Amino acid sequence: MDKWVKRLPDAAGEAAYTAQVFPPIVSYFTGWMMLLAYFIVCPWEAVALGKLAAYVFPWLNSMELYRVAGQPVFLPRLALGVALTLFLGVLNYRGIRLSANFQKLMTSAVLLCFVVIVGLSASRGAPANFHPAFSAAPFISILWTLQIVPYFMTGFESVPKYAEESNPEFRERSYMSAIALALGMGAFFYVLSIAAVSYAAPWQSLLGRRFATAIAFESALKAHWPVTMIFSMAMLGLFQCFNGNFAASTRLLFAFGRRGTIPGSFGVVHQKFQTPSAAVLGITVGTLGGLLLGDALLVPVTEVGSMASALGWFAACASFWMVEKRAGMRVVAGLGILVAAMLCLMKVLPVIPGHFSPAEWIAFGIWVGLGAALHWART
């Protein structure tokens, strides 16, 4: 990814890279899959906000409006998600600097809470709580985990999406540092989070429990205040993740409009704020639409987002392998192709546990159909 952004600093990211070697339709749908990987997080976070807040304020689970796939949609939780979506929409509409400052504030707060929680786990937990290491056969357990890794690690490849808006003094080699830090810190954060919870309380006692992290620390410390801190951290993390994916989605949608692969109106830049205003409005409306599906959205979104991310990574690696001449870099790209292909196959092959369910295939098909409709309507 670092090599591509140095050669081609374009907000279209993977779509721009694959356009160098593949037919336009392949380039477009590669970018469309990456847009899914980012955008799909937005309604997910908007729904998760209400679900999380309802644990602290049970009255939010009232005034049921309707059900989707058996899951109730409550008015207060829906209103909360709408409010957050509109807030982030306005924030990103008015400028990337406001969005970036908000992102830095949320990230700093999350990391501060994270350090406190890890310290609490280390002081009150026990190594015996880790055992047994797996709930099923080790290979199957690892396979299930790997299938959702792309969804939760998505974000490192968003760095190139902002290349056109970066500070002129931002050095070329800084792109590699930013991408590597995003990957490394993301992996470190997830691994240490899982370890902290498992160390604090036996993981078997947490199975099937809502908000198991909070329960684990409440049980270990015999106090309620860690629960408040964990929920505060979760809320801040939710704002951070939502805003980051919202901004990346708008840049991709804007880039498609500018390239003419979807209606050009999405490529409009606001004269005063210098932001992709039409794209921001489009992602805001799309997020509000997804929010209406409620909790039924959460699991299918995670699974579909994982494969969408892996497809984008596969195409980016394959296109780089085709243009790169150095043997060493082609080996690295080849490894990327292999890993991404395996992640994709895990979701589509029926013989592999955790493959796509009918609901997930439907969600994936709807997204592909929407992309095709916008592409054909561009004229």
DSSP per-residue string spanning 357-370: PHHHHHHHHHHHHH
Of 145, 148, 121, 302, nearest in space to 214 by CA = 121
Rounded Cα distance, 294 and 126, in Å:
38
pLDDT tens readout for residues 194-251: 888 888 878 777 777 777 777 777 777 777 777 777 777 778 888 888 888 898 889 8
Beta pairing, strands 64-68 & 71-74: antiparallel
CA atoms within 13 Å, Cβ hemisphere of 350: 2
Reading the chain (379 residues) residue by residue, the pLDDT tens digits are 556 666 666 666 777 788 888 888 888 888 888 888 888 888 888 988 888 888 778 888 989 998 987 888 999 999 999 999 999 999 889 887 777 788 788 888 878 888 888 887 777 777 887 788 777 777 777 777 777 776 666 666 666 666 666 666 665 556 677 777 777 887 888 888 888 888 887 877 777 777 777 777 777 777 777 777 777 777 888 888 888 889 888 988 998 888 888 998 888 888 888 888 999 999 999 999 988 888 777 667 777 877 888 888 888 889 888 888 888 888 988 998 998 888 888 888 888 777 788 888 888 888 889 999 988 887 6
The whole-angstrom distance between residue 24's C-alpha and the CA centroid of its chain comes to 26
Is 24 within 8 Å of 182 (Cβ atoms)? no
pLDDT tens readout for residues 126-166: 788 778 877 777 777 777 777 777 666 666 666 666 666 66
What number of other Cβ atoms are within 10 A of residue 190's Cβ?
13
Q: What angle do CA 38, 41, 47 make, to 5 degrees?
A: 160
Q: Domain coordinates of the chain in residue numbers?
A: 2-376
With the C-alpha atoms ordered 123, 127, 132, 133, is the resulting torsion angle positive or negative?
A: positive
| CATH 1.20.1740.10 is held by the domain 2-376 | yes
Rounded Cα distance, 18 and 29, in Å:
10
Rounded Cα distance, 308 and 305, in Å:
5
Long-range CB pairs of 323-330, under 8 A, 24+ apart, other chains included: 323/20, 323/21, 324/3, 329/3
> Which three-class secondary structure state does DSSP give residue 74?
strand
